């Protein structure tokens, strides 16, 4: 009971801090906070599918890029919220299209397939843009950064609620059963194919909207950058480091990576990626449950 009260108090405190941040911090730190919120939103949405089912997707960059592309194409020709919703639905529709064939394969095949499809989508967009004789699209009159920050905060909260709710639900139990053993999951009555596709589509919506917000912030759409597989790799890293079995993990993972990159990018940029690689390997080998998983395991051990 005491622990629960503590959790609720810290959630409220963190939310208040994020809501108040634009009044307190300067533009630079607001940018860092935006990074953090987008990291949380993206990683939560990844965990909602890949964390729970064990189907490691390297395709999140596609959904992110597709959302950004929709925004770049429609900006100033429709209302902001309409484009944001369209971005989310475009990403979700793409997930439905990709998911149906891709979710038939498991393990390393699924990983490679999602990476391949992601690269394919990138080059399709590049080809379209080349055919339209466009070399990058500039977005004019984009909203105020503080406004975009609040949209991102909303997305981070929504994504956290999505993962939290899904992980606790009957469907979440079904998704975890799929991760453990797909055949056995069928024998206990889990509608395996339906659940996988449903979770994949749900998990694609958020990155679509995040990509759309992000391109408004950078005000420039360039497919190589917005469809870059680095987005997917960063998300997986955050999930592995934070823990991928529920909503708390991604918050720890995103915070860890954003703080680390703030500390190191400026001072030792060459060292940053090396350290990230070492950390990723160490977590996979020694702390596969991630920071949050390890913390709960330690707490349980102390209680027992």
> Interface residues with another protein (CB under 8 A)?
170, 173-174, 176-177, 180-181, 183-192
In angstroms, what is the minimal distance from the CB of 174 to another protein?
Answer: 6
In angstroms, what is the minimal distance from the CB of 165 to another protein?
Answer: 18
Q: Which is nearer to another protein, 169 or 218 (CB)?
A: 169
In angstroms, what is the minimal distance from the CB of 110 to another protein?
Answer: 19
In angstroms, what is the minimal distance from the CB of 100 to another protein?
Answer: 16
Q: Which is nearer to another protein, 256 or 292 (CB)?
A: 292
Q: Which is nearer to another protein, 82 or 180 (CB)?
A: 180
Residue 221: strand, helix, or coil: strand
For the chain, state the CA radius of gyration: 19
Q: Which is nearer to another protein, 127 or 184 (CB)?
A: 184
Q: How far is CA 297 from CA 5, 282, 290, 302, in A?
A: 20, 18, 10, 9
Among 9, 8, 42, residue whose Cα is nearest residue 213: 42
Q: Which is nearer to another protein, 27 or 304 (CB)?
A: 304
In angstroms, what is the minimal distance from the CB of 303 to another protein?
Answer: 12
Q: CA-CA distance, 233 to 211, in Å (whole number)?
A: 15
Q: How far is CA 298 from CA 4, 10, 178, 220, 241, in A?
A: 17, 20, 26, 45, 16
| Encoded tokens for 207 | 């990155």
In this structure, the number of other CB atoms found within 10 A of the CB of residue 99 comes to 25
Q: CA-CA distance, 197 to 223, in Å (whole number)?
A: 26
Residue 281: strand, helix, or coil: helix
Q: Which is nearer to another protein, 77 or 300 (CB)?
A: 300
Q: 27, 180 in Cβ contact below 8 A?
A: no
In angstroms, what is the minimal distance from the CB of 301 to another protein?
Answer: 13
In angstroms, what is the minimal distance from the CB of 97 to another protein?
Answer: 22
In angstroms, what is the minimal distance from the CB of 169 to another protein?
Answer: 11
| Encoded tokens for 58 | 């390297």
Q: CA-CA distance, 236 to 58, in Å (whole number)?
A: 8
**Could you tell me where the DSSP H helices lie in the chain?**
2-24, 27-46, 52-53, 60-74, 80-102, 107-131, 145-168, 170-180, 182-187, 192-218, 223-226, 229-242, 248-265, 269-286, 290-303
Q: Which is nearer to another protein, 30 or 198 (CB)?
A: 198
Q: Which is nearer to another protein, 131 or 285 (CB)?
A: 285
Q: 163, 246 in Cβ contact below 8 A?
A: yes
């Amino acid at each position: 009971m005491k622990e629960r009260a503590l959790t609720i108090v810290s959630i409220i405190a963190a939310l208040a801090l994020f809501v108040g941040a634009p009044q307190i911090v300067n533009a630079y730190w607001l940018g860092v906070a935006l990074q953090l919120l987008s990291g949380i939103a993206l990683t939560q949405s990844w965990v909602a599918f890949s964390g729970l089912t064990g189907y490691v997707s390297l395709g999140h960059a596609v959904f992110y890029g597709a959302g950004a592309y929709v925004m770049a194409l429609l900006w100033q020709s429709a209302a902001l919220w309409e484009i944001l919703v369209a971005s989310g639905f475009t990403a979700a529709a793409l997930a439905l299209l990709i998911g149906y064939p891709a979710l038939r394969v498991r393990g390393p095949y699924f990983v490679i397939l999602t990476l391949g499809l992601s690269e394919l989508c990138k080059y399709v967009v590049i080809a379209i843009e080349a055919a339209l004789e466009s070399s990058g699209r500039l977005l004019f009159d984009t909203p105020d950064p503080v406004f975009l920050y609040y949209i991102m905060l909303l997305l981070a909260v929504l994504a956290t609620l999505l993962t939290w709710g899904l992980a606790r639900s009957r469907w979440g139990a079904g998704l975890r059963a799929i991760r453990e053993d797909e055949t056995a999951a069928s024998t206990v009555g889990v509608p395996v194919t339906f659940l996988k596709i449903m979770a994949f589509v749900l998990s694609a919506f958020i990155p679509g909207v995040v990509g759309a917000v992000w391109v408004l912030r950078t005000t420039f759409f360039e497919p190589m950058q917005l469809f870059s597989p680095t987005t997917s790799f960063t998300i997986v890293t955050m999930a592995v480091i934070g823990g991928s079995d529920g909503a708390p993990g991604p918050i720890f993972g995103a915070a860890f990576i954003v703080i680390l990159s703030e500390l190191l990018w400026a001072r030792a940029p060459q060292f940053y990626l090396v350290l990230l690689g070492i950390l990723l390997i160490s977590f996979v080998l020694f702390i596969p449950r991630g920071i949050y998983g390890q913390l709960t395991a330690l707490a349980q051990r102390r209680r027992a």
